[in-house]
A and B are shown apart, each in its own frame.
Chain A
Amino acid sequence: MNALFFRLQHRYAPYLFVAPFVILFLTFTLYPIAKSLSLSFYITNGPKSQVFVGWDNFRFLWGDPAFHRAVWNTCTYALTSVFLQLPLSLGLALLLNSRLVKGRNFFRFGFFSPHLVGQVFVAVLFSVVFIPKFGLLNRVLHALVGTAIDTKWLGNPELVMPALVLTSLWMYVGFNMIYFLAALQSVDRELYEAAQVDGAGAFKQFVHVTLPGIRSVAVFVTVLSTIGSFQLFELPYVMLSNTAGPDNSGLTVVMYLFQNGFIAGDLGYASAIGWTLTMGVLVISLAQMRLTGTWKRED
């Protein structure tokens, strides 16, 4: 009897251990995803009244200028975070990885520390950094150029996106640097020595030793920050005092979803936006993994 209990508990233990994940996955992931697909064919008004409209939500979305604006803004932000922020992170990591550096831990903490301030709090802080006349940014610019600067960073539709990008650089450059630095430190030093013996200069070493050595991490970071940037919401929403900014210049896809679903109460349209976002993100991240030749296989 006791032996039987022991065998059974050994056999069924793993199922029990993953059960919480499975239950939550079914209830709070699989069901909502399926439900949101069906919801996207309805016009709803709060959780109770629903009218089936077929493809109308998607058709409307296709011609919705506000949605176009949101997609444009989100893509701009995502592109800058991949092509501006990640190279900067890698650059900082390369500098920090140099053998000449003294006080590496201090610098690492210094660069990383903005990430400890969460998105909403960063947004509150930077909403004040960007105020005209007295904000930190304009004061610093004033000190640099010598004349008083009165730029309305968050009031000028042309400048809202640059302000957002600047904020996210501050918040994420050091964070992504941590990944690159760890990857760089795991590259075998002997490979560099071998390359040096073969007469490879700094650039050749970077291309032939460093890049292959950090490739899997680079792909991981790129995919994660792309997915993350497409979900941009908190920064603009809080920085722009819960609005989309002048001329919708700070409107993002998720913000548009939130506005439609939870302020206007049309969960159906919100779901259509959500599905469009999901398809976009999936296609882009799969393409990234394909292009970089990384089909992550789990063994």
Chain B
Amino acid sequence: MGWQRFGLHAVLVLCSVVMLTPMVWLVAATIKGPDDLFHYLFFPSPSRFSLYNFRQLFEQIPYVRFMINSLFVAGATVLVQLFFSSLGGFALAKYEFKGKRLIMVLMLTTMMIPAQVMLAPMYELIYAMGLVDSYWGLIIPGAVSVFGMFLFRQSMLDLPDDLLQAGRIDGCTELRLYWDVVLPVQRPMIGAFCLIAFMGSWNNFLWPQIILHSQERFTLPIGLNQMVGLYAQEYGAMMAGTLLAVLPVVLLFFLLQKEFISGLTAGAVKG
């Protein structure tokens, strides 16, 4: 048994090293000066640490602006998606109504159709609405997350009907029930969905790349990609930009990780 346990852990440690090395390398690259960047594979001695890359990053592109834009777009998207998706999921989980099956079928179809087929007409539509180069053009089309509706439906199926009935007898309207009874007990799923939605919006590239034209509105992925094109040799600054762009997601993940793992797998395992 001993060697088996040892072998197992050896393989696991090796895999973790492979997975984590690029990230350690990324962190190391950000704090090396231009001469040390490729001279040391990982970290130089602490006396050689330098903020050069971050200085370059902030001087060459309006990085802080991109960060604020991204935070705004992702924050707004999460709130809007959270509200509409949980509301829709609630209806699908706890009500019988005409067209419910049809809606479920439409949702499944939406998930299987590659969104890119809609890019051209979506652009025409957004153009006609005058929303090109605006955040509304990002937020409105993505206001309802179909995946989120599935998640919330799945977790709300377990809500006891008696709880809802008791609320109704107390005189709650259906909207009140949703707000005061259903949402509070959905805390874990809300946490999971917030992270999933945040990551989706934070990393979104193709659609913002199409509709955002002026640099002061760029989100981080768009801004960073532009930087790669313009300053291809500034590896250190690129790495610094990448590291800072990942931090908010990592932070949110540590806040919500328990909910996240259970939420991510809930739909798959149950359904």
From residue B78, how far is it (CB to closest CB) to chain A in Å? 15
Residues in chain A near residue B175, CB distance under 8 A: 9, 13
B123 touches A14 (CB 8 A): no
Q: Does A292 contact B (CB under 8 A)?
A: no
Q: Which of B46-54, B55-63, B109-117 contacts A (4 or more CB under 8 A)?
A: B109-117
Complex Cα–Cα for A127 and B224 (A)? 13
Give residues 246-263 of A contacting B (CB, 8 Å): 254, 257-258, 261-262
Residues in chain A near residue B232, CB distance under 8 A: 241
B253 touches A35 (CB 8 A): no
Given contacts A36-B117, A274-B119, contact A234 B205 (CB under 8 A): yes
Residues in chain A near residue B125, CB distance under 8 A: 27-28, 31-32
Q: Does B186 contact A (CB under 8 A)?
A: no
Number of chain A residues whose Cβ lies closer than 8 Å to a Cβ of chain B: 93
Interface secondary structure of B, over-half rule? helix
Complex Cα–Cα for A20 and B146 (A)? 11
B269 touches A217 (CB 8 A): yes
A100 touches B246 (CB 8 A): no
Q: Does A200 contact B (CB under 8 A)?
A: no
Give residues 152-175 of B contacting A (CB, 8 Å): 168, 173-175
Give residues 267-284 of A contacting B (CB, 8 Å): 267-268, 270-271, 274-275, 277-278, 281-282
Q: Does B90 contact A (CB under 8 A)?
A: yes
Contact of A227 among B12, B26, B112, B128 (CB under 8 A): B112
A14 touches B16 (CB 8 A): no
A118 touches B97 (CB 8 A): no
B12 touches A125 (CB 8 A): no
Complex Cα–Cα for A139 and B87 (A)? 52
From residue A201, how far is it (CB to closest CB) to chain B in Å? 15
Interface residues of A (CB under 8 A from B): 6, 9-10, 13-15, 17-18, 20-22, 24-25, 27-29, 31-33, 35-36, 39, 47, 92, 95-96, 98, 100-102, 106-111, 113-114, 116-121, 124-129, 131, 133-134, 136, 139-140, 170, 174, 178-179, 182-183, 186, 216-217, 220-221, 227, 230-231, 233-234, 238, 241-242, 254, 257-258, 261-262, 267-268, 270-271, 274-275, 277-278, 281-282, 285, 296, 298
